[in-house]
Each structure stands twice: as C-alpha cells, then as structure tokens.
C-alpha cells in the first residue's frame, strides 16, 4: 500500500501565485536565480535559493543562507503572501507544455515508506547536496519543494483526477517559460476515496527530486529519533510530493559534452569508437531509437549505433543507453571512469535542444553526445530490481514549480 495524507498547505493568495511560484532550486544557478527574482520580492526563490539575498562571496552552505531562507518564509507568512488552508486537503496539480498535459495528486507521502523502500529510487544522491536540503528543511520547518513521484496508472485514480479537474481551480496561470500551471483542491468528501485508492498502489517511484526525497525522509527520521514521545502520526513523518500516473510523464534526453578527447586526435577517436559502434555521417543528429547516439565532433554530426554483443541486453542497468555509452566509449576511450565526479564531462538536459550541444562544442568543449531518452518502463525496472541508474539518466519536463503549495512539519 501507499500511505498518503492530506495536509493544510501554506499557499499564496491566488492573485500572487504567478509571482511567487519559482523553478525548483536545483535546475537554475544562483546567478540565474538572482536575475529571475530581481524586482520581485515575493519570488519563492528568496526561500529556496536564499543565497540570492546575500553577497556573492558567501558560501552556499553558510549558516546565513539557511537563516535567510527561514526568515523569508516567515516574512511571506507575516505579510499575508501565504495563507493557511483551513482544513487538510489533497490537491490536483496540472501542467501543460505545448501539447503535453500531465496531472498529479499533491499529498503528504510517508518518510517511513521511503526508508523501507516502498517509495523506490533509481539514482544515488550526493552527500553534500543531501546535507544541504536536510538542513534547509530543518531550518524552514517545511517542505519547500515537492518531490516528483510516479506510480503505475490505475483507472480509479484517473477517474478521481478527471472529476476534480472539472471544478474551478484555485490557481491557473502561464509562467514566463510558457508552461501552464493549474491547481485544484480535492473536495473534502473525496479525501478518503483518495487515500483508499492510493492504499491499493503497491509502490511509488521517485521520478525527479532524489535529493529532496532523501533529505525530506531524513528530516522525518531525525525528528522521530529526537522525540521520546514519538507516536508515528506527527506531520514530520511525511513529506510533500506530487504523484503522477506513469503514462502521463515524459522523459527527455539527457546529453553529454566532454572537454577533451583524452589525448586522441579526431581521426583516432573515430577509429576507436568504430570498434564498438557503427559510425556514419548523420543527416539527422537526434537519435531515433534506443542504442543509437549522435556525436558532434569536428563541426559535424555522426550517427553511432551500438554493435550487437557490446552490451548486456538482459541487464536492466547495463542495457540503458547511458550505460552503453559510458561503458563502451566514455570510460574506455576517453578515460572518464566516474561521470559523477570527473570534471571533464558535463550534462545537458534535453529541454535545451541539440543546438546547445553544438554551441558548447563551438565554445571550446571537444565533443558532444546526444542520447535517446530513457523510458518510464526502464526506470521502473531498475527501481524494482533495487538497482540504480548511472548519473544523469533522466530529464523530466515540465518541472514542478516550488512555492505554490508549501507543507510545514508541525501542522496537519
């Protein structure tokens, strides 16, 4: 079963929602956040990227950063930017990006289920980033941004989502990037129906936001350990999440650029790549099927296709395109053994387009690689097997906005 609870959200007044809502903390840099929040004192970036209100030389993990975020959240509450929901509620959050529409249920999800592996993950987290969000959550006493979860679709939950979306939303706006965000309150009389429906879902999966999930669960477990009168029903035992049916989600490509060719000439690189891949000029740089790759080298696109026998087709991890590229080219040919730590590689989300790969190479990077997107079925297969994907395997779009619904850890 999946244990989900309604909660009394802190949320912006409807007329302020578009100004408050911000991108997640981890998809923009501090400098981008400064520019985005300029002239907007109620942008939620003041809470989830609070370094923008401090001098640039202040370290991101300085005590003042966390204190500033907490102070700004209190400011939003005190100034009436945020209002508190009168009763615990579930919410439906819909996003529209071009022709793509996805709608999910906003809930409080169980920290214990995350710890027990019933909320399954497919990526490792970095300790520094997890520590950062853990402290940020403790200082705010709130889940500032939702974790993006998915589940295998169910007709009963689809029916609830559809029924709620026939009502009047509390928020409905188009953000500056053209993505539309709409939020509805689930009627109170349907709350038990929601809980019961998700109680029949055997597992949830972290789609996006592994550091948010890990840190939120860690906060819950740390507060449990510190409370000698812990019962199990305290608000800190849960974290803010949006649950989407798997068939509505879209994973985009997550591409790679490398700084150098590991001492090889372009001709030598092509020869070595040809040992594991068929190589041909590419009329269309975007890969059109799994196990095919685009390589931008020397101002031209090349099409690579993994040769049979060069990968473990039955292995849920090693059969992924990101693993095939890593094990057959990046590590053995270019010497990039650990893409999590090697500074010679960088990652470019598919939302930026293949033109961004060409731009990076023209500005000094040595080569770029375009990948076919990982599928939801592959993600779930890896998670079900208790395994993890290589780093930067999935890029989800659209991203959830932070600040539309905030969940404090001391209030149901």
Q: Helices (H) and strands (E) in the chain — how many of each?
A: 13, 21
Reported as type and span, the H/E element at residue 389 is none
CB 230 within 8 A of CB 224: yes
pLDDT at 54 over 90: yes
The domain segmentation of the chain, as residue ranges, is: 4-250+397-408, 253-392
Reported as type and span, the H/E element at residue 175 is none
CB 221 within 8 A of CB 161: no
The string of pLDDT tens digits covering residues 301-310 is: 999 999 999 9
In this structure, what token pair is assigned to residue 60?
A: 């991101």
pLDDT (mean) for 244-267:
96
CATH 3.30.1760 fits 253-392, yes or no: yes
The pLDDT score that the predictor gives to residue 391 is: 85
pLDDT (mean) for 169-190:
97
In this structure, what token pair is assigned to residue 136?
A: 């940020």
Assign 393 a pLDDT band (cuts: 50, 70, 90): very high
pLDDT (mean) for 185-208:
97
The pTM of the full predicted model, rounded to 2 decimals, is 0.92
Reduced to 3 states (helix: H, G, I; strand: E, B; else coil), residue 202 is coil
The pLDDT score that the predictor gives to residue 124 is: 86
The string of pLDDT tens digits covering residues 320-334 is: 999 999 999 999 999
The pLDDT score that the predictor gives to residue 1 is: 86
| Residue 362 backbone phi and psi in degrees, to 5 | -65, -20
pLDDT at 91 over 90: yes
Assign 368 a pLDDT band (cuts: 50, 70, 90): very high
In this structure, what token pair is assigned to residue 371?
A: 């990948």
pLDDT at 84 over 90: yes
Mean pLDDT, rounded, of the chain: 96
Higher pLDDT, 69 or 284: 69
pLDDT (mean) for 252-262:
96
């Amino acid at each position: 079963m999946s244990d989900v609870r309604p909660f009394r959200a802190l949320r912006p007044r409807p007329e302020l929602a578009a100004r408050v809502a911000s991108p997640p903390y981890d998809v923009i840099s501090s400098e981008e956040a400064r520019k985005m929040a300029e002239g907007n004192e109620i942008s939620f970036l003041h809470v989830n990227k609070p370094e923008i209100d401090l001098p640039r030389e202040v370290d991101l993990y300085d005590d003042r950063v966390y204190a500033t975020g907490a102070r700004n959240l209190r400011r939003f509450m005190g100034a009436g930017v945020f209002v508190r929901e009168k009763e615990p509620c579930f919410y439906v959050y819909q996003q529209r990006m071009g022709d793509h529409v996805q709608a999910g249920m906003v809930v409080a999800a169980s920290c214990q289920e995350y710890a027990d592996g019933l909320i399954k993950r497919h990526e490792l987290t970095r300790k520094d980033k997890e520590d950062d969000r853990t402290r940020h959550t403790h200082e705010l006493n709130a889940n500032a941004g939702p974790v993006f979860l998915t589940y295998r679709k169910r007709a009963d939950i689809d029916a609830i989502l559809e029924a709620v979306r026939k009502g009047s939303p509390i928020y409905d706006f188009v953000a500056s990037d053209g993505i539309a965000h709409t939020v509805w309150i689930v009627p109170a009389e349907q709350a038990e129906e929601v809980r019961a429906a998700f109680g029949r879902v055997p597992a949830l999966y972290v789609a996006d936001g592994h550091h948010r999930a890990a840190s939120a669960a860690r906060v819950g477990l740390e507060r449990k350990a510190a409370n000698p009168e812990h019962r199990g029903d305290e608000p800190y035992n849960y974290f803010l999440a949006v649950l989407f049916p798997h068939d509505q989600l879209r994973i985009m490509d997550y591409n790679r650029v490398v700084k150098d060719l590991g001492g090889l000439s372009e001709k030598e690189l092509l020869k070595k790549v040809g040992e594991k891949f068929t190589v041909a000029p590419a009329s269309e740089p975007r890969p059109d099927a799994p196990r095919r790759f685009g390589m931008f080298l020397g101002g031209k696109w090349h099409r690579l296709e993994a040769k049979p026998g060069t990968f473990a087709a039955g292995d849920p991890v090693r059969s992924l395109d990101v693993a095939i590229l890593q094990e057959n080219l990046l590590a053995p040919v270019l010497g990039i053994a650990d893409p999590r730590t090697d500074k010679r590689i960088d990652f470019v989300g598919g939302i930026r387009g293949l033109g961004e790969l060409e731009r990076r190479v023209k500005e000094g990077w040595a080569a770029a690689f375009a990948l076919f997107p990982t599928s939801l079925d592959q993600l779930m297969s890896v998670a079900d097997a208790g395994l993890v994907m290589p780093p930067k395997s999935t890029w989800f779009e659209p991203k959830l906005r932070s600040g539309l619904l905030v969940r404090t850890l001391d209030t149901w």
